[in-house]
Amino acid sequence: MRGRVAMRDVVKSGGDTRTRAAVPSGVRLEERADGCGSSRVEVRAPDGALLAEYRPAEGVLRLSAPRVEIDAAEDLRLSAGRSVRVDAPRGVTLRSGDTNVALRPGALGLLAEELDASASRITWTAKTMRVAADTIETEARRLTQRVAEMETQAQQIVERCRESFREVEELAQTRAGRLRLVAEDTLRALGRRTLFKAREDMQLRGERIYLD
């Protein structure tokens, strides 16, 4: 320590003891201990601003510098026995290669080539949700949708299923330029009252036609 520590003194006031050491740059290291055995170690800038504080009894280390940089040549690991909390009023950015996670006040940005999420339950709650993709694939054992109004716009809709059931309490209407119903075996229409109306021609074709 010779040539590095420029000043070292011990100050006692009442039951408190303060040990100070300074280096030529003016940075000071102070240890303050009270009569109860509690102490804290402080690192202060030349102007007296607190840079770091360590409380041995609590196991707490606090950094108060205007800017802190940690540079690891290989790996950097942060580990906590309970939890890790990061607070920043302007934003937090996590980056790995081309993958980027940006947290801004009121917004979350995620940029990645591939995203995998696995959970026993996922809940999304939003006022407006927009999904844009070239291809969307959904695979589920059971799919349930509950909406007040649903609108679908598409160039072509193709549905394939083993059985299809649809129940409508009031009106079910289909408007099309041409309408074709194809049944491989039997086509049945059942109603308390049935009405077929054509603006021009109506044709019934079959080997046998029964009218009861």
Segment 38-62 shows an average pLDDT of 86
Residue 171 lies in a domain: no
Residue 192 lies in a domain: no
**Structural domain count of the chain:** 1
Residue 20 lies in a domain: yes
pLDDT for the residue 180: 92
pLDDT for the residue 147: 92
Residue 54 lies in a domain: yes
Q: Is 108 exposed, middle or buried (0-12, 13-18, 19+ CB in 10 A)?
A: exposed
Backbone angles phi, psi at 95, to 5 degrees: -140, 135
Residue 106 lies in a domain: no
pLDDT for the residue 15: 59
Cβ atoms 22, 5 nearer than 8 A: yes
Cβ atoms 31, 39 nearer than 8 A: yes
Segment 20-48 shows an average pLDDT of 82
- Kindly report the pTM of this predicted structure: 0.59
Band (pLDDT 50/70/90 cuts) for residue 40 is: confident
3-state SS, residue 198: coil
Judged by average pLDDT, the poorest of 37-46, 148-157, 190-199 is 37-46
Q: Is the pLDDT of residue 36 over 80?
A: no
Q: Is the pLDDT of residue 57 over 60?
A: yes
Residue 33 lies in a domain: yes
Going across the sheet that includes 107-111, the strands are 92-96, 99-104, 107-111
Give the domain range for residue 32. 7-63
